[in-house]
């Protein structure tokens, strides 16, 4: 049987413990998970794509080759086709995520009928964690220890030297 590969797409600006949890749990369902960093034109990024990729690689290691990190541009479904993936993996937190995620998954299926989106419910510890709230907190000097992996904490400290890391 061929390998079941899922693409976990996102902006990852930066990757948080919420994302990591979804990616790792995805390995319980799929043989491989490809973390695909895309640029969301609706969001203004703090980190460059290179910085994001470097951080994600550090955060998902070691994975026995089951998690890889890549960059994609353009339509997600074109990327999914290109690498021979069978699924898109996304996380859900609150009801407000649901409406957008449903639209996205239906649009992706319209564009490419052979791909399905699989959702994993967030762990309760990451329910309130988003890249946006992480950035808002550190830019005001607060600590996000325990909400992002250590490599991300150090990288945030480079951008916001005054932030609390306790």
Is 43 a catalytic site residue?
A: yes
- φ and ψ at 106, to 5 degrees? -70, -40
Q: Minimum CB separation from ligand ADP for residue 66, in Å?
A: 18
Query: Looking only at residues 108 through 127 of this chain, which bind ligand ADP when binding is defined by CB under 6 A?
Result: 122, 126
Q: Is 20 in the site for ligand ADP (CB under 6 A)?
A: no
Q: In this chain, which of 5, 6, 7, 18 binds ligand ADP, going by CB under 6 A?
A: 18
4, 43, 125, 145: the active-site residue = 43
> What is the full DSSP assignment across 37-63?
E---TTS--SS-HHHHHHHHHHHH---
* Coil vs helix vs strand at 148: strand
Q: Minimum CB separation from ligand ADP for residue 86, in Å?
A: 18
Is 19 a catalytic site residue?
A: yes
Is 131 a catalytic site residue?
A: yes
> What is the full DSSP assignment across 101-123?
HHHHHHHHHHH-TT-EEEEEEPP
Helix axes 150-159, 131-139, angle to 10 degrees: 50
Closer Cβ to ligand ADP, 50 or 161, answer by number: 50
Q: Is 91 in the site for ligand ADP (CB under 6 A)?
A: yes
> What is the full DSSP assignment across 90-104?
EEE-SHHHHHHHHHH
Quote the DSSP letter at residue 142: -
11, 52, 90, 131: the active-site residue = 131
* Coil vs helix vs strand at 154: helix
24, 25, 93, 159: the active-site residue = 93
Active site residues: 19, 43, 93, 131
Sites of contact with ligand ADP (CB under 6 A): 10-12, 16, 18-19, 22, 40, 90-91, 93, 97, 122, 126, 129-131
């Amino acid at each position: 049987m061929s390998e079941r590969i899922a693409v976990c797409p996102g902006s990852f600006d930066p990757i948080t413990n919420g994302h990591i949890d979804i990616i790792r749990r995805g390995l319980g369902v799929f043989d491989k998970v490809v973390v695909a960093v895309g640029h969301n034109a609706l969001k203004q990024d703090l980190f460059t794509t290179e910085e994001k990729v470097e951080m994600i690689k550090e955060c998902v290691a070691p994975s026995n080759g089951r998690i890889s990190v890549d960059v994609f541009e353009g339509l997600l479904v074109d990327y999914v086709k290109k690498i021979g993936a069978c699924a898109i993996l996304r996380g859900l937190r609150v009801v407000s995520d649901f409406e957008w995620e449903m639209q996205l998954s239906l649009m992706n299926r319209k564009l490419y009928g052979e791909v399905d989106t699989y959702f994993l419910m967030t762990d309760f510890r990451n329910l309130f964690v988003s890249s946006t709230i992480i950035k808002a907190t550190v830019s005001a000097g607060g600590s996000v220890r325990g909400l992002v992996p250590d490599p991300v904490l150090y990288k945030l400290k480079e951008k916001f030297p005054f932030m609390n890391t306790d």
